[in-house]
Amino acid sequence: MKGSLRLSLSQKLQQRLSPLQMRFVRLLEMNGLEIEDEVRRELDDNPALEVADTPAIEGDDDFNESAEDLQLADYRDEDEIPSYRFEANNRSADDDFYEPVAVADEGSLGESLTRQLSETDIDARDLQIARYIIGNLDDNGYLTRTLTQILDDLAINAGIDVPMEHLREIVGRVRALDPPGVCAYDLRDCLVLQLRRMPRSDIRDLALEIVEHYFDIFSLRHFDRLASMLDVDRDRLREADELIRSLNPKPGGQIGDSAGDEKSRHIIPDFNVEVDGNVVTLSLVNNVPELTIESSFVSDGNSFISVAGSSGEHKAARTFINRKREDATEFIELLRIRQETLYKV
């Protein structure tokens, strides 16, 4: 057998982000509140970082109360102030005015399922077991523990001994609640639960057979193979696919996302834009203070190192001081670049 050596030359172009670039991207993705929390966390973790002393602006202590503030000061406390003092209606008589309407909250997924169970003929002991099962559902409605683990938890934590068959019955009662698909073991089981709750039809039965017995092939989108194995044409297979795709893979996510939650969400802007004629003023809306290096870390850090001690201790101390100073300098620079980038955007 003859051996041969081959020499090949290939050229690849790869782009990799350095750790500093990754950290900058993470800071750039944060909103105003998140960047404030990040600054506070960095101030707590890094002793080389401190808030810069900003000089007081001349005239800050001057009297600047408005006439409205003076009128409100005539009352002893806020409870005595009439409600109309806090209202301002700058609309014209032709404008539509809508009063805010309180919206009843649906509650969490666990509260919704427990309320549905309470309306059935379930006894107190089974209701306690069902609540324990519901407590092991995640936000999407999936069961996070196996039945064996739940059985052990009930015996150890709650002191309830229940046969496995009876536990399966109670799990089945939870799985029969709304929304369809809750208390599923996995995605395939979630889709099966939803399909079984639908009215029977040829397409529904085909979709159920696909999910129950050919889910792996369906997940890979091998429709030709599916059509051959099921002996169906592509049109019926396409209708079954559309039905499966219309199901909700996260049934628990739709509970607790009511109109009241939508109304209570406040959008906090990152920018404040003021237009005065042809002049546009742009400012960042956050409370990030100006940061600087702590005075003890500005030099080489000898103020932290005592005269006594071994040279190894001195070296370790200098390494610690230099590392913290470099981290603080890097963080200050990243904040500056982030602000410049936002302004450019």
Residue with tokens 């409205």, as numbered in its chain:
68
Bridge partners for 201 per DSSP: none
Is residue 268 domain-resident?
no
Confidence check: pLDDT of 142 > 70: yes
Contact 334, 27 (CB under 8 A): yes
What is the pTM (predicted TM-score) of this model?
Answer: 0.48
Is residue 284 domain-resident?
no
CB under 8 Å to 229, separation ≥6 — which residues? 214, 217
- At 135, give phi and psi (nearest 5°): -65, -15
Counting the structural domains of the chain, the total is 3
Specify the pLDDT at position 259.
Answer: 47
Is residue 265 domain-resident?
no
Q: Which of 150, 175, 200 is the last residue of a domain?
A: 175
Burial class (CB in 10 A: 0-12, 13-18, 19+), 280: exposed
**Cα–Cα dist 214/216, whole Å:** 6
Burial class (CB in 10 A: 0-12, 13-18, 19+), 199: exposed
Residue with tokens 């309830």, as numbered in its chain:
160
**Cα–Cα dist 125/283, whole Å:** 60
Specify the pLDDT at position 70.
Answer: 54
Angle between helices 164-175 and 109-118 (to 10 degrees): 110
Which residues constitute the domain of residue 221?
187-250
Burial class (CB in 10 A: 0-12, 13-18, 19+), 236: middle
Q: Which of 119, 154, 175 is the last residue of a domain?
A: 175
Is residue 266 domain-resident?
no
Specify the pLDDT at position 163.
Answer: 94
Is residue 283 domain-resident?
no
CB under 8 Å to 322, separation ≥6 — which residues? 300, 301
Name which of 1-15, 169-183, 194-208 the model is least confident about. Answer: 1-15
158, 214: one domain = no
- At 201, give phi and psi (nearest 5°): -160, 170
pLDDT category at 213 given cuts 50, 70, 90 is very high
196, 162: one domain = no
321, 297: one domain = yes
At 268, is the secondary structure helix, strand, or coil? coil
Specify the pLDDT at position 68.
Answer: 55
154, 204: one domain = no
Predicted confidence (pLDDT) per residue in 236-253, tens digit: 999 999 999 999 999 988
298, 337: one domain = yes
191, 244: one domain = yes
Is residue 67 domain-resident?
no
Q: Which of 250, 277, 299 is the last residue of a domain?
A: 250
- End-to-end Cα, the chain, rounded Å: 65
Bridge partners for 293 per DSSP: 49
Sign of CA dihedral 156, 160, 161, 164: negative
pLDDT category at 66 given cuts 50, 70, 90 is low
Is residue 199 domain-resident?
yes
- Locate 182 and state its tokens: 């809750």
**Cα–Cα dist 60/56, whole Å:** 7
Is residue 343 domain-resident?
yes
**Cα–Cα dist 87/312, whole Å:** 68
